Structure formats: C-alpha cells, structure tokens
A and B are shown apart, each in its own frame.
Chain A
Amino acid sequence: ILNVEQSPQSLHVQEGDSTNFTCSFPSSNFYALHWYRWETAKSPEALFVMTLNGDEKKKGRISATLNTKEGYSYLYIKGSQPEDSATYLCAFYEEYGNKLVFGAGTILRVKS
C-alpha cells in the first residue's frame, strides 16, 4: 500500500499570513502528484497536476513545487484570506497505475 503523508494535519493562521504545507510520497515509480482544494460541504476541486521534477505551478496566490527525487511537494499560500480556508489534499499517481492515492489532508483555517 502506497503511503502519502501530509503535514501539518491542521493549521490556523491570521489573514495576511503566508503559509505552506508538505506532501510526502514514494520517490520510486513516480507518475504525477495532484493537489486538490476541498471546501466544507463541497466536492474536492483540482488545483495542480505536477509531473516533472522541479515543476513549479502557480494559480493566483497559491503555488506548488515538486521534488520527485526526494519524494515531496510543497504548497504555498501567499497572503492568506478567509476564503482560503479549506482542506488541501495531495494525491500520488503511480507509474502505470490507474488510481490516485490521497493523503489525509491539511486543514487550513484563516482568521480575519
């Protein structure tokens, strides 16, 4: 069973703070790493799909980096806003696999 770890489990920050969290995954047989944003009472929504070592993706104030050799990805949020409050999930896609393996998520709460 593949192990995808996310840390921290939860995070409380003030509006305007920048924050980051980590996703660790197996470094062998890597195919892709996905990040999803999941707001309460809604469905998970895709943020990024990353496939190349050194990849860096950005969407507004959110960015992500990927290191496939050491098996980790960071998600950064610059100037957090209350609307950023959500659970952020990463998911690992193994080479030749047909399925994503999700981490348990990082719960982010941004206080105004």
Chain B
Amino acid sequence: DAGITQSPRHKVTETGTPVTLRCHQTENHRYMYWYRQDPGHGLRLIHYSYGVKDTDKGEVSDGYSVSRSKTEDFLLTLESATSSQTSVYFCAIKEGDRDRETQYFGPGTRLLVL
C-alpha cells in the first residue's frame, strides 16, 4: 500500500457534464499517473505529472485535462463527459529508482457515463 486513495470510487453521470476525479497520496511521490482500463486494452496512460504544476500527455489524453497544485493531489477532469469515457480509472505513483523503480496503483474509480 503506497498510501494512494481515489475519490469517488464509483460515479454515474450524464453525457455532457463535467466530472473530476481525485487522486491523493500521502508519501510525497514526485510522479503521479492517470490510466484508464478497458477490455482488450490493458491500462492506457491518460496524463501524468512529474511535479507540482508539471504535467504531460499520455496515449489517450483527448477529452481529459489534469491539474496538480499540490504534491499530494492529482486531479483528472473530463470537461464534457461522453459515453466513450465510461471506464475504470486508476491513479498510480512511481517509487524507487532505476531497476528498483515500480508503479503502485490506487483502488480505481468506476465511471459510468449515460
């Protein structure tokens, strides 16, 4: 357990509404990641952060934005939710260096867009 929590854990929303998911970590990790998990695709990176106010796009960033104003919080926003964004969203942190480096994942947020 790397002290990662996600909120909410479950959310149902309607198409066109904005949605914000929160990832919170308690161990001062520099790197944080947002992934989405869909059948047949494993985990796909949406955005990641390498420090406060430092973020970069991942593989599937369209329709998502992120913010990191504090080390401990990394927010993922769906500006206008679409049904294709129905998914399970995982936050992760990176721990360790070089060959001991690994990622630890939060419990996930299940999002349904109707």
Using Cβ atoms and an 8 Å threshold, which residues of chain A touch B90? 43-44
A 31-69 binary contact with B (CB < 8 Å = 1; else 0)? 010100000000111100101100000000000000000
B contact residues, total (Cβ < 8 Å): 26
CB contacts under 8 Å to A, within B37-63, are 40-45, 48, 50, 56, 58-59
A99 and B45 within 8 A (CB): yes
Using Cβ atoms and an 8 Å threshold, which residues of chain A touch B50? 98
Give 5 A-B contacts (CB < 8 Å), ordered by A residue: A32-B101, A34-B102, A51-B99, A91-B43, A105-B42
Q: Tell me whether B105 is interfacial, beta carbon within 8 Å.
A: yes
A43-B90, A98-B48, A101-B59 known; A89-B43 Cβ under 8 A: yes
Q: Spell out B's residues near A (CB within 8 Å).
A: 31, 33, 35, 40-45, 48, 50, 56, 58-59, 90, 98-108
B101 and A43 within 8 A (CB): no
Q: How far is the CB of A108 from chain B (nearest CB, A)?
A: 14
* A contact residues, range: 20 to 34
Give 5 new A-B contacts, CB below 8 A, not counting A43-B107, A44-B43: A45-B105, A46-B103, A93-B101, A98-B48, A101-B59
Give the complex CA separation of A35 and B41 in angstroms.
16
Give the complex CA separation of A105 and B48 in angstroms.
21
A44 and B105 within 8 A (CB): yes
Give the complex CA separation of A55 and B48 in angstroms.
29
Q: How far is the CB of B107 from chain A (nearest CB, A)?
A: 6
Give the complex CA separation of A28 and B112 in angstroms.
39
A46 and B104 within 8 A (CB): yes
B45 and A43 within 8 A (CB): no
Using Cβ atoms and an 8 Å threshold, which residues of chain B touch A104? 40-42
Give the complex CA separation of A104 and B42 in angstroms.
4
- Quick one: which of A6, A34, A45, A102 has the most chain B CB within 10 A? A102
